[in-house]
Structure 1
Amino acid sequence: MQINVEPLDQSVKQALQWINEVDERMGTHNPRLAMTALQCTLQAVRRQLEPEQVAHLAKCLPIPLKGALFENWRPTAPRPAANRADFLSALQDTVFRNVGITVERAVKASIEVMCKRIPAETVAEFATRLPFDLRSLWSNEPLPYPGHGAV
């Protein structure tokens, strides 16, 4: 029996494109850091959503990023952040300490790539669950972002 792995290969290529775009936006030339930023942002968004909304978001992701979204997930009621500072603080405290990039820059890059690659109706569904003042992170700025530089 021959197994067709082409869909998996394509999904890995798509995930790498997402990661490279996050890396380009962050301006770090560090794909590992870009993957961390993307995974942490996906999981932070996940915490804002109902389980059904998480499943809907997952349908839009390449297989490796679905794994990143669902890693260590226990479906529960959402734990929405009250504001931008709360949303970013959770990431700063767990991941972005001493890595040479601000949490704002990492989240901004990740959300912009998500918004570019996920259908608009799905983005609208999860964007309404994010703190309103977090939306200021994905304004149109040249790459890499001035003013959101390294710590």
Structure 2
Amino acid sequence: MTTTGITKLDHAPQIFAEWLNELCDDLGFPKSRAYLLLHETLHAIRDFLTVDEAADLAAQLPVLVRGVYFEGWDPSKAPVKPRNKTDLIDRIASRFQKEPLDDPDRAVAAVIDLLRRHVSWGEFEQVKHAMRKPVQELWE
């Protein structure tokens, strides 16, 4: 494999694979399903945040995870409304129509737990407190 000589870029696929493997291990999902869950949950979280808070969270994400996070983002539409827990869960679960999630709350909470393990505690708490109270339950 050709490398760039830039450590952050050369290790980006490995770091992304580690995140994905952790999520697969946490939920027993195949990689394609874990990737879809990660993708959709990151987008939903991003869209529930203000532009500034979304950018603050992105700054703590690894390069490839950050790319997934920002893919297709229109900051002029942030934050989305309404932003309650049901809206978040339904938005993510709707992407699993062929094979519905058995427990969407648990699946989303697993992605949030993945974030907890990989971003600073301060940023994790800021994101949590930027959410409406019912949505914060997923951070518990």
TM-score by length of 2: 0.85
Q: Any conservation in 2 of the 1:80–1:129 contact (CA below 8 Å)?
A: no
Please state how far the C-alpha of 1:99 moved relative to its aligned partner.
2.0
Counterpart of 1:71 in structure 2 is 71
Q: How many residue pairs end up in the alignment?
A: 136
Within a 5 Å distance, the mapping from 1:88-107 to structure 2 comes to 88-93=89-94, 95-101=95-101, 102-107=103-108
Partner of 1:9: 10
Q: Which moved more, 1:80-89 or 1:58-67?
A: 80-89
The one-letter amino acid of 1:60's match is Q
Name the amino acid aligned to 1:96. Answer: F
Q: Distance in 1 between matches of 2:100 and 2:127?
A: 29
Q: Report what 1:50 is aligned to.
A: 50
Instruction: Report the Cα distance in structure 2 between the residues aligned to 1:47 and 1:38, rounded to whole angstroms.
Output: 14
Coordinate RMSD, CA, aligned:
1.9
Matches of 1:132 and 1:40, distance apart in 2? 21
**Residues 75-90 of structure 1 mapped to structure 2, 5 A cutoff:** 75-76=75-76, 77-90=78-91
- Is 1:109 the counterpart of 2:105 in the alignment? no
- How many Å apart are 1:124 and its aligned residue? 1.1
Q: Is the 8 A contact 2:37 2:92 kept in 1?
A: no
Q: Conserved in 2, the CA contact under 8 Å of 1:96 and 1:103?
A: no
Distance 1:97 1:103, change over 3 A: farther
Q: What TM-score, normalized by structure 1, do the two folds share?
A: 0.79
Partner of 2:24: 23
Render the CA deviation track for 1:7-49: whole Å, top value 9, x for unaligned. Answer: 2122221111111111111112x01111111111111011111
Secondary structure (helix, strand or coil) at the match of 2:11 reads helix
Q: Secondary structure at the match of 1:96?
A: coil
Bigger RCO (CA 8 Å, 6+ sep): 1
Distance 1:54 1:113, change over 3 A: same
Bigger fraction of residues in helix: 2
Identical residues among aligned pairs (%): 26
Tell which deviates more after alignment, 125-134 or 54-63.
125-134
Deviations 1:71-108 (A, max 9, x none): 11011231254421121111222x12232523223211
